[in-house]
């Protein structure tokens, strides 16, 4: 990367030409205080994209976590070390995102019902069980799902 003080507008690569080089040039321009040379529109799009990426990552991790909860509760064979380890890791990843961006928790809460429905469908596909045999979203809400001490209970017929 060229010295930002010597970077001329015509030297900066275009957004569409080489994204990585463009991003490095934009960072160099920012650090150099060359705000007049910044590609504002594309920078704004990329910053919006970062927020979307974090929201989507949190949604994906939560869906996977809920799917594992559903399977853990519904199928005895899923209550094993591997499933518990996966649940711990998905909780950790989701909580890390929420630590960095607490506002995403509200986003997850607002979408919880649809995310849980998606997790149910995935669990039904994976286990072969009908949706009617899988836990409903009232069985574990967002706060419980993220609580490291919470584990879904097996159905009463198994206890």
Tokens of 154: 């097996």
What's the CA gap between 58 and 104, in Å, rounded? Answer: 8
Cβ contacts of residue 135 below 8 Å, gap of 6+?
A: 69, 70, 73, 74, 120, 152
pLDDT tens digits, 87-107: 999 999 999 999 999 999 999
Whether the per-residue pLDDT at 10 is higher than 60: the answer is no
The predicted pLDDT at position 87 comes to: 94
**Pair of tokens at residue 51:** 């927020």
Q: Give me the chain's average pLDDT, please.
A: 88
State the DSSP string of 134-148: SPPGGGS-HHHHH-T
Structure confidence at residue 34 (pLDDT): 93
Mean pLDDT over 54-83 rounds to 93
Q: For residue range 26-54, what is the model confidence (pLDDT) as tens digits?
A: 999 999 999 999 999 999 999 999 999 99
């Amino acid at each position: 990367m060229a010295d930002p003080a010597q970077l001329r507008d015509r030297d900066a690569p275009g957004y569409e030409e080489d994204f990585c080089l463009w991003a490095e040039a934009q960072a160099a321009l920012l650090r150099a205080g060359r705000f007049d040379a910044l590609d504002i529109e594309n920078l704004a799009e990329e910053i919006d994209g970062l927020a979307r990426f974090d929201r989507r990552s949190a949604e994906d991790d939560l869906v996977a976590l809920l799917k594992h909860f559903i399977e853990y509760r519904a199928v005895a064979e899923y209550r094993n070390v591997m499933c518990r380890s996966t649940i711990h890791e998905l909780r950790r990843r989701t909580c890390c995102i929420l630590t960095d961006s607490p506002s995403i928790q509200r986003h997850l809460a607002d979408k919880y019902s649809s995310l849980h429905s998606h997790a149910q469908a995935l669990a039904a596909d994976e286990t072969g069980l009908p949706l009617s045999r899988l836990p409903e979203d009232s069985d574990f809400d967002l706060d419980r799902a993220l609580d490291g001490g919470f584990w879904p209970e097996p159905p009463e017929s198994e206890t």
